[in-house]
Amino acid sequence: MAGRVSVPEFKKERDRLNEIVMKYAGLETKRFYNLDSQVYRKGGALPVKIKELLGLVASLVLRCDECIKYHIIRCSEEGLTDQELEEALSISLIVGGSITIPHLRRSWDTWEELKHSK
């Protein structure tokens, strides 16, 4: 219900906070951050676009706004189409129910913002 945060503001705040995490992080936290990049990386059997879509759907049903925003941005960078996104989000909605609707709304809002900023 909080006010909108634009994509550039989101990235800036995310970077600021990650720096604080890294200031305190022990070896396990750093390794986890590393794994969190590797699973979405190019190579292997699934295209990056699909990996990011899997991350998005997981984030949607778990209802984490920052995670959703991050994967929406990545999906956009990987050239996902409107229809591909709609099909993935409709699966999330059916699996997760109406409780996911506020996050569905903000997903499309970020998608719109990304289209207009191109």
Q: 66-80: string of b/e by CB count within 10 Å (b at 16+)?
A: ebbbbbbbbbbeeeb
Which residue type, as a one-letter code, is found at position 57?
V
Scan residues 33-52 and list those touching its own copies (CB under 8 A). 35-36, 38-40, 44-46, 50-51
According to CB under 8 A, which one of 24, 42, 79, 116 is a site residue for its own copies? 24
Q: Please, what is the minimum distance in Å from the beta carbon of residue 80 to its own copies?
A: 9
Least distance between its own copies and beta carbon 32 (Å): 6
Q: Determine phi and psi for 81, rounding to 5 degrees.
A: -95, 165
| Residue of 8, 11, 12, 25 that binds its own copies (CB under 8 A) | 25
Alpha-carbon span 65 to 106, nearest angstrom: 8
Q: Specify the residue, 40 or 78, whose C-beta has the smaller distance to its own copies.
A: 40
Interface with its own copies in residues 74-93 (CB under 8 A):
81-93
Distance CA 15, CA 51 (A): 23
Tell me how far, at minimum, the Cβ of 43 lies from its own copies, in Å: 10
Check binding of 13 to its own copies (CB under 8 A): yes
If phi > 0 it is left, if psi is from -120 to 50 it is alpha, else beta; for residue 47 that is beta
